[in-house]
């Protein structure tokens, strides 16, 4: 049963507190973490991490190691990366003691694990994508990630519950040796009630991608596919929201193809701006690809936002994407790196308004049935109940 949502002023202060753990707090590309935490009703969340990259949601507390000594922000963070020491987190928490720690991303969970052991509380971990697909050699190349492949087995043995953002990710997590009985699929979901289905009059001939400009998102293939259809779709524009290491090469590709006037590189934008662009788009395209390092799309939260808005979607038949895009029902699926297939799908969706609207409405209905954040949050709180009620796993706590 989904609990009734209480207004904030009537929420009981006696709710157990939990720590939402992310080493790098409030990144602009990760709104889904706070979107989930603010929906909790039977637990009171606060955010805990190493560094801040933004502000917490209004009315919610956040604690970061950098707050202890702002002048030594980066050296102190660097030492914590190397040592996994827990004293800084205990110090910044003061008298606050959570009943549970919920770490987002497996990489962060290996830092949260010794803290949970020191505090004697359960640890819940959510896997989102690259933490379940990136190869070990790729992980070992990053100083901030090196502990993860080395201590993943420890996390699997001593962590309390493992939640996966898609069924695809659960299969990958199980293949890494995590226990099936403690590893579950849990879609984060989306607050569909706060997203009004757009009216057909709002639509413009915009082909939209919202993603970091990194290899796994397949933006290069989208630019090449757009080049194939741009001549027959003179009113269309390709709008790319996001930033990343591939931006320079993608802008060069657009110039080489003579499309610099038809492709907008908007960089990173706020969630509010993203949703405003979503309402204008004829379609959202996520042509993700598997990378040479093994990275694969876990699900794609932007697909849920597009679906909730009633926007038709095109995506790769890869990873968790088919759990949102049902081919020819809520969108179209194409093979990764298939530029011709992607171009054909873009043209088909662009030229068939009834198809766009039918798929958009089916996508919205799928969100309401399968990705409703109220239902998903109630399930999450059930997982918290389970973790807190279970006997504590014994381990030697780190100082």
Residues 130, 23, 113, 151: what is their CA dihedral angle, to the nearest 10 degrees?
Answer: 50
Residues 56, 63: contact at Cβ < 8 Å?
no
pLDDT (mean) for 267-288:
95
Q: What is the value of pTM for the model shown?
A: 0.87
pLDDT tens, position by position, 63-82: 999 998 877 777 877 888 88
Q: Show me where the domains of the chain are located.
A: 8-189+372-389, 192-370
Residues 232, 347: contact at Cβ < 8 Å?
yes
pLDDT tens, position by position, 114-128: 999 999 999 999 999
| Banded pLDDT at 7 (limits 50, 70, 90) | very low
Phi first, then psi: what are they for 42, rounded to 5°? -95, -5
Which one is the CATH code of 192-370: 3.40.50.2000, 3.40.50.720, 3.40.640.10, 3.40.50.10420? 3.40.50.2000
Cα–Cα distance for residue pair 144/238, rounded to 1 Å:
35
Helix (H) / strand (E) element for 185: namely: strand 183-185
Which one, of 274, 347, 335, 346, lies nearest residue 306 by Cα? 274
H helices of the chain, where?
A: 31-37, 73-83, 87-93, 106-119, 130-133, 136-140, 147-158, 167-175, 219-229, 247-256, 271-280, 301-309, 339-351, 353-370, 373-389
pLDDT for residue 154: 97
Residues 276, 244: contact at Cβ < 8 Å?
no
pLDDT (mean) for 137-161:
94
pLDDT for residue 391: 85
According to the CATH classification, is domain 8-189+372-389 in 3.90.79.10? no
* C-alpha to C-alpha distances, 334 to 31, 293, 314, nearest whole angstrom: 27, 22, 8
Residues contacting residue 35 through CB under 8 Å, at least 6 positions apart: 188, 190, 191, 373
């Amino acid at each position: 049963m989904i609990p009734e949502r209480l207004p904030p002023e009537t929420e009981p202060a006696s709710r157990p507190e939990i720590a939402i753990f992310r080493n790098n707090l409030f990144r602009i590309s990760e709104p889904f973490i706070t979107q989930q935490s603010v929906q909790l009703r039977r637990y009171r969340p606060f955010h805990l991490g190493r560094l801040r990259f933004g502000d917490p949601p209004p009315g919610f507390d956040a604690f970061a190691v950098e707050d202890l000594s702002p002048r030594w922000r980066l050296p102190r963070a660097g030492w914590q990366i190397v040592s996994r020491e827990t004293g800084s987190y205990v110090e910044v928490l003061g008298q606050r003691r959570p009943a549970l720690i919920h770490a987002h991303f497996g990489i962060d969970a290996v830092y949260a694990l010794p803290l949970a052991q020191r505090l004697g509380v359960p640890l819940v971990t959510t896997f989102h994508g690259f933490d379940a697909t990136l190869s070990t050699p790729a992980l070992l190349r990053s100083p901030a990630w090196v502990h993860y492949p080395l201590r993943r087995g420890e996390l699997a043995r001593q962590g309390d519950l493992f939640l996966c953002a898609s069924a695809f990710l659960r299969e990958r997590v199980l293949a890494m040796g995590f226990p099936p009985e403690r590893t579950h699929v849990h879609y984060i979901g989306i607050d569909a009630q706060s997203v009004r289905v757009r009216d057909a009059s709002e639509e413009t001939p915009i082909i939209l991608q919202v993603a970091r400009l990194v290899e796994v998102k397949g933006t290069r293939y989208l630019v090449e596919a757009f080049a194939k259809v741009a001549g027959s779709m003179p009113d269309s524009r390709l709008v790319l929201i996001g930033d990343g290491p591939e931006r320079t090469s993608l802008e060069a590709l657009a110039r080489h193809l003579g499309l610099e006037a038809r492709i907008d590189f908007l960089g990173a934008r706020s969630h509010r701006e993203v949703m405003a662009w979503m309402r204008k788009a004829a379609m959202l395209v996520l042509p993700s690809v598997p990378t040479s390092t093994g990275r694969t799309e876990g699900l794609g939260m932007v697909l849920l936002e597009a679906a909730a808005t009633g926007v038709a979607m095109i995506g790769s038949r890869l990873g968790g994407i088919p759990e949102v895009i049902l081919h020819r029902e809520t969108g179209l699926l194409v093979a990764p790196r298939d530029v011709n297939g992607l171009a054909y799908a873009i043209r088909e969706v662009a030229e068939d308004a009834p198809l766009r609207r039918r798929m958009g409405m089916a996508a919205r209905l799928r969100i309401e049935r399968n990705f409703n954040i109220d239902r998903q949050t109630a399930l999450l709180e059930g997982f918290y109940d389970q973790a807190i009620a279970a006997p504590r796993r014994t381990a030697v706590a780190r100082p």
